[in-house]
């Protein structure tokens, strides 16, 4: 397997294009914490003939806040950086912290977690709840895809062959609002989410003027909890409201039974985690 290192987005696209022209299969690699495991096993589709490492591309390592409060996070920013940052939206840091171990977070990246597109990935629901937009680059140019339209199935996304996730952009509201993330796994450390939930809200006059909630591991892709959002919008927080929203969320998700948890338990978790995340995000709202 040939290992190529790209120094810029353009070089990465060019390398990938060149390999494609030669009829050689190739994959982008960032931290490699998911890819190396897949390739070490019997990866579906076999071994690629080349890897194009994008983890050192300066544009992918940027973490920038524009003067207006907009936030832009490069795809190769490591999970450890997100986990330790106190000035990012809370749900994103909490989600990054929930992934793997310190060793995994030191290598793994935001873009890798998103592009791996596992329904249980712990940054997926936060990026959706925060209204993130994914910037995808190809030789034809760049396009922006809302986070909730990026995922098309388990381990499947709208990425076209050779296309590269460059960064995730968030509007000023992502930082202006309040957010929280909750997950449950079988242990406290190094556990895969049986369910995860992220909420973001904008409080005005003691009420939730805007609210977005998303859950992972409850459907083939991470999903918006639209019915719960509808109940919450315009309301002031109360435990009773949290229970109602949790109930609505439990009914709208479509979980399955698998090795990690039965579907019925996942519905219960969705309700409980949404209620807890809302309580945290609403703490101190007046």
Residue for token pair 């579906």: 44
Question: 238 exposed, middle or buried (CB, 10 Å; 0-12, 13-18, 19+)?
Answer: exposed
Looking at the Cβ atoms of 115 and 253, the one nearer to another protein is 115
Per-residue CA distances from 167 to 74, 138, 144 (Å): 4, 13, 10
Question: 155 exposed, middle or buried (CB, 10 Å; 0-12, 13-18, 19+)?
Answer: middle
Give Dmax (Cα) for the chain: 62
Q: How many chain residues interact with another protein (CB under 8 A)?
A: 24
Provide, rounded to whole angstroms, the least separation between the CB of residue 46 and another protein. 15
**Binding residue for another protein, selected from 63, 107, 173, 285, defined by CB under 8 A:** 107
Provide, rounded to whole angstroms, the least separation between the CB of residue 51 and another protein. 6
Residues in 74-93 that interact with another protein by CB under 8 A: 80
Contact call for residue 43 and another protein (CB under 8 A): no
Looking at the Cβ atoms of 21 and 188, the one nearer to another protein is 188
Cβ proximity of 167 and 135 under 8 Å:
yes
**Binding residue for another protein, selected from 67, 141, 189, 240, defined by CB under 8 A:** 189
Six-digit token pair at 145?
A: 């895809």
**Binding residue for another protein, selected from 12, 15, 19, 29, defined by CB under 8 A:** 29
Question: What is the C-alpha separation between 249 and 243, in angstroms, rounded?
Answer: 10
Question: What is the C-alpha separation between 220 and 258, in angstroms, rounded?
Answer: 12
Contact call for residue 285 and another protein (CB under 8 A): no
Question: What is the C-alpha separation between 48 and 21, in angstroms, rounded?
Answer: 15
Provide, rounded to whole angstroms, the least separation between the CB of residue 55 and another protein. 7
Looking at the Cβ atoms of 32 and 132, the one nearer to another protein is 32
**Binding residue for another protein, selected from 70, 106, 227, 279, defined by CB under 8 A:** 106
Binding residues (CB under 8 A) for another protein: these are 1-3, 5, 29, 32-33, 36-37, 40, 51, 53, 55, 80, 100-104, 106-107, 188-190
């Amino acid at each position: 397997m040939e290992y190529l290192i790209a120094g810029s987005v353009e070089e990465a696209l060019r390398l990938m294009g060149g390999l494609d022209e030669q009829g050689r299969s190739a994959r982008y690699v960032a931290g490699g914490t998911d890819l190396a495991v897949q390739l070490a096993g019997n990866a579906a589709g076999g071994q690629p003939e080349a890897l194009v490492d994008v983890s050192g591309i300066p544009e992918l390592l940027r973490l920038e806040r524009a003067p207006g409060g907009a936030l832009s996070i490069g795809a190769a920013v490591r999970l450890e950086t997100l986990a330790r940052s106190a000035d990012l939206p809370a749900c994103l840091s909490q989600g990054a912290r929930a992934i793997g171990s310190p060793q995994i977070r030191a290598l793994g990246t935001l873009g890798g977690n998103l592009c791996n597109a596992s329904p249980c990935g712990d940054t997926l629901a936060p990026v959706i709840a925060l209204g993130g937009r994914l910037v995808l680059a190809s030789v034809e140019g760049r396009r922006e895809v809302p986070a909730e339209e990026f995922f098309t199935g388990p381990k499947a996304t709208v990425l076209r062959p050779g296309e590269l996730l460059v960064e995730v952009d968030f509007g000023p509201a992502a930082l202006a609002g309040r957010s929280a993330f909750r997950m449950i796994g079988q242990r406290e450390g190094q556990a895969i989410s049986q369910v995860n939930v992220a909420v973001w809200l904008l409080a005005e006059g003691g009420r939730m003027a805007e609210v977005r909630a998303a859950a992972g591991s409850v459907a083939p892709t991470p999903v918006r909890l639209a019915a719960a959002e509808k109940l919450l919008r315009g309301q002031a927080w109360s435990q009773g409201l949290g229970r109602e929203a949790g109930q609505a969320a439990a009914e709208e998700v479509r979980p399955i039974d698998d090795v990690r948890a039965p579907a019925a338990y996942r519905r219960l978790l969705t309700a409980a985690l949404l209620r807890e995340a809302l309580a945290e995000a609403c703490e101190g709202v007046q």
